[in-house]
Homo-oligomer: A and B are copies of this chain.
Amino acid sequence: MSTDSLAKCSLNSRMHLLLIEDDAEAAKYLAKGLRESGYTVDVAANGRDGLFQATEQQYELIIADRQLPHIDGLTIVQMLRRQGSKVPVLILSALGSVDDRIEGLRAGGDDYLTKPFAFGELTARIEALLRRGPGVAAATRLKVADLEIDLLGRMVTRAGRRIELTTKEFQLLEFLARRQGQVVTRTLLLEGVWDLHFDPQTNVIDVHMSRLRTSIDRDFPKPLIHTVRGAGYVLRDEP
């Protein structure tokens, strides 16, 4: 099966990652691949910016090169830990030899990966780090009433019938489904689905929500997407 599981592991929840890598080309390649795999990726080109962004924003995981301008990867980990942050950090190292300090990372719940590595290996380790502890595998399918979402296959069915969605629609639905029953505010959607941290002054959300609605709810008696006036939207069975 080899990389089977890797593929399987890579299309999960929309997680926010920070990639700290000074080699522009490598950074671009990795970021692209990770985005294809469904992650939201921010990139920092050096240690200083990286550390700043890591403290400024909350990431689910940080991937840092070992050797970086200004501040190297290991130091970033140390500083983050000193600030009380517990974000898992994955160190990319060009060094072949096993460094004691790096070895120590594993104990701290973090991990390292020696270059060159297969992309699949990276996603596998990311998934391993994102798992909330042993035994709790990340979900691969979500269910809301008769609606089923297959994250690996990027497939949605309702009442057994197949529903085609665009990428944005799928992301939006996944975001809602992960918080099913809870009201999701516009701001939350803007950040979680569009990665916008300011008000775009447009009605992007409304438009996409409308599109998603026609796909999900039009041909069915019970709508699953509900508007909460003045607050946001909910995905749930009851009105």
Contacts and interface: CB of A to CB of B under 8 A. Distances in A.
A134 B1 contact: no
A119 B188 contact: yes
A214 interface: no
Interface in A76-108: 78-80, 82-85, 106
Nearest to A107: B69
Given A47-B134, A135-B75, A162 B29 contact: no
A153 B164 CA distance: 28
A80 B1 CA distance: 10
A232 B36 contact: yes
Contact of A1 (B11, B83, B239): B83
Chain A interface secondary structure, helix, strand, loop or mixed?
Answer: mixed
B155 A238 contact: yes
A150 B47 CA distance: 27
Contacts of A8: 83, 179, 182
A10 interface: yes
A218 interface: no
Given A167-B229, A167-B231, A191-B119, A29 B199 contact: yes
Contacts of A48: 111, 125, 128
Nearest to A236: B153
A1 B121 contact: no
B55 A152 contact: no
Given A118-B191, A137-B79, A4 B178 contact: yes
Interface string A181-217: 1111111101110000111000000000000000000
Contact of A178 (B1, B72, B75): B1
Contact of A84 (B1, B82, B164): B1
A221 interface: no
Given A72-B134, A181-B153, A55 B5 contact: yes
A220 interface: no
19 contacts: A1-B58, A1-B85, A2-B56, A5-B80, A7-B179, A29-B187, A29-B197, A36-B185, A36-B187, A71-B128, A118-B191, A119-B197, A120-B188, A120-B192, A152-B182, A153-B181, A153-B236, A162-B238, A167-B231
